[in-house]
Amino acid sequence: MPGGAAVAHPVSELQTSAPELVRQARRKGAVPLTRYGKTVAFLVSPETRRRQEDLEQAANRALWAIDIARGMHDLQRGDVTEWDEVYAGLERELAQP
């Protein structure tokens, strides 16, 4: 986190200290919120959230590229499944309770 480690705060503190907790989140990047001593949520700054979204998008693009590379490799080896077989398998899975 940009401003150092944030101290956890009980969720009930939001009612009385929301403005201060928001300032802490902007300063530190994120403030953990707890209930009965366990972290249940984080109050995060817009910058931290944007970074998280950017990282998630980059990871998704990397996984997509890996999937395409594996598919191309399978195709080159002739390791393919006909669409009718895939469709039938999906129908069987969806029919299960």
Q: For the chain (length 97 residues), average pLDDT per consecutive 10?
A: 69 88 93 93 94 97 97 93 93 88
pLDDT at residue 40, rounded to an integer: 95
Give the residue extent of every domain in the chain: 9-44, 55-95
Return the SS3 of 80.
coil
pLDDT at residue 13, rounded to an integer: 86
pTM of the model: 0.60
pLDDT at residue 33, rounded to an integer: 93
pLDDT at residue 10, rounded to an integer: 85
